[in-house]
Amino acid sequence: MSSRRGFLRNILAGAGVVATAKVLSAQEMDMSHGTQGMKMKGMKEAERSHLSPTLVETPDVSQLPWRMDRNVKEFHLIAEPVKQEIFPGRVVDLWGYNGSAPGPTIQVTRGDRVRIIVDNHLPEATSMHWHGFEIPNAMDGAPGSSQDPIPPGGRFVYEFTLHQEGTYFYHSHMAMQEMMGMIGAFIMHPKEPYKPRADKDFAIIMQEYAILPNIEVPNSMNMEFNWLTFNGKAGPATTPLIVRHGERVRIRLINLGMDHHPIHLHGHQFVVTGTEGGRQPESTWGPGNTVLVGVAQSRDVEFVANNPGDWMLHCHLPHHMMNQMSSMVGPLSRRNGMPAGLDMERGMGMLRQGSATSEENGPSLGRGMGVGSTAEQAMSNSPLKAESTMQHQDMPDMQHQGMQLGKPEVSKDANSVPGFPQDAFMEGPMMAMDETVDKPENFGLRPGWSGFMAGMMTFVRVLPQDKYDQIMELRKKQEGKEPMKMNMPGMEHKHE
Ligand SMILES: [Cu+2]
């Protein structure tokens, strides 16, 4: 998020009017890292007025600041490897932008002239595509056709004028890099807010990863996934959306991955007001509570938060409501483990070491279904003993993650019931980690809530004024200690 003022100066010095379809080598760039944030101009004044659209919050993801260069809004994105904690204790190696995956959110207004300096700090070439933008072909970021890929250490400066409005995004146009996390939201605001004006506006990017417990690198070639994230976090590490009772809320859902996600909201009907193509005519707004967000699509939903309470917002694919699913089934739910038959690596095609495209791992990875594979742990499939299943010593893996280790309630004859267990040991009290994921936005949730939140799950918390104020107060206090990611200097969100 630093502004790298040194080389911005370089760029700007010779720039004047920038027709900057040029890749710079590392040597041409002054890599001195100025750390002062770019001055936010324009946005604060705009935010003061109710005549302006509400700024979009992206919980758990920062906002990308900009500087004005005469009439051009200048942004700076750095494609780079990142270490990201997607879940308490689970730090993984992703590729993203400016320190996170998804990368920081860009917000502009229709009509803006925008310059985006993209530096490639990856060990291989990349490209930056502006998804759905109607801009000159040379700015499209299609590697090999509209431009040369940006080499490692290189830079490409994009510049264009935006005449669209809606929920857009930027992403690497190298397919495997997309699966390492390389996407970010790009919100184009209208000059005047839509009517009725949204009081709260949020964006959530959905991603999925395949990562074995003993490795930190996602397998980008995999076709099944065990970590599902909203804005780079798996539940219960996701940050709830906080709204006041009675407010009009917009949620922008963005999907770029291998799966489609039916996103469901509890307690409210909403209307779909926008797609990746921008605002939809009001005549198309039929009520619903689940919206399918397909790959490469975005969907805006709007509703009046007229029903107080803590409402789940989640992908409704059952396996997308779980964390590290396959690997936890064994150790957690079966005292004597899962049956041998197919080891998880082969079943899910995950990496032990190296890269998915290496000679050893490459061609058949994720597709091999051979017999005679080993178990993930040496274990047999003996029946569960309902009364003694969840001994703490049976779950060494879980203890360090700060779980509360409660005991699930099961009936005495549970094992005589065909199909048991299903969720008994997959979610519930023993998965709770309220304290570990404690943050202002979780304040006042029902104790033990976190044991039932996983994967692509979060809350829309529709709060009465006093409770809302309490959380905003806590948030302010916390901001004093460590900067909240959604805020930046000069871009305060209104919490009045
Ligand atoms: Cu899903």
How close is the Cα of 144 to the center of ligand 1, in Å?
A: 32
Predicted pLDDT of residue 403: 55
Q: Which of 49-63, 266-280, 343-357 has the lowest mean pLDDT?
A: 343-357
Interval between CA 297 and ligand 1 midpoint (Å): 13
Per-residue tokens: 165: 């409005």
More confident site: 361 or 314: 314
pLDDT tens digit sequence for 455-490: 999 999 999 999 999 999 999 998 876 544 433 333
How far does the centroid of ligand 1 lie from the alpha carbon of residue 229, in Å? 9
- Write down the pLDDT at residue 323: 85
Instruction: Specify the amino acid at residue 325.
Output: M
CA of 473 to the centre of ligand 1 (A): 33
- How far, in Å, is the centroid of ligand 1 from the Cα of 456? 7
- Ligand 1 centroid – CA 200 distance (Å): 24
Kindly give the distance from the C-alpha atom of residue 316 to the centroid of ligand 1, in angstroms, as a whole number: 6
Q: What pLDDT shows up at residue 148?
A: 96
How does 111-122 read in b/e, with b if 16+ C-beta sit within 10 Å?
A: ebbbbbbbbbbb
The residues, ordered by sequence, that sit 6+ positions from 175 with a Cβ below 8 Å of its Cβ are: none
Most confident of 85-89, 219-223, 246-250, 334-338: 246-250
- pLDDT beyond 90 at 52: no
The rounded Cα 68 to chain-centroid distance in angstroms is: 28
Residues in the chain: 496
Pairing of strands 113-120, 72-87: parallel
Distance 262 CA to ligand 1 centre (A): 6
Residue 392: CB atoms within 10 A of its CB come to 12
Q: What is the pTM of this model?
A: 0.77
Per-residue pLDDT, averaged over 108-114, amounts to 97
Q: How much is the average pLDDT of 131-142?
A: 96
Q: Please give the residue that has the higher pLDDT: either 447 or 48.
A: 447
Ligand 1 centroid to 49 CA: how many Å?
37
45, pLDDT greater than 80: no
Q: How confident is the model at residue 330 (pLDDT cuts 50, 70, 90)?
A: very low
CA–centroid distance, 265 to ligand 1, in Å, is 13
The closest alpha carbon to 63, from 152, 167, 185, 162, belongs to: 185
* 303 Cα–ligand 1 center, Å: 21
Output the CA 221–ligand 1 centroid distance in Å: 18
327 has pLDDT over 60: no
Task: Flag whether pLDDT at 435 surpasses 70.
Answer: yes
| Residue-level pLDDT at 331 | 45
Ligand 1 mean position to 208 CA, how many Å? 9
Instruction: For residue 318, report the distance from its CA to the centre of ligand 1, in Å.
Output: 8
How far, in Å, CA of 351 to CA of 365, rounded? Answer: 9
Mean predicted confidence (pLDDT) in 270-277: 97
pLDDT tops 50 at residue 411: yes
Q: What is the pLDDT of residues 205-214, one digit of tens each?
A: 999 999 877 7
266 pLDDT above the threshold of 80: yes
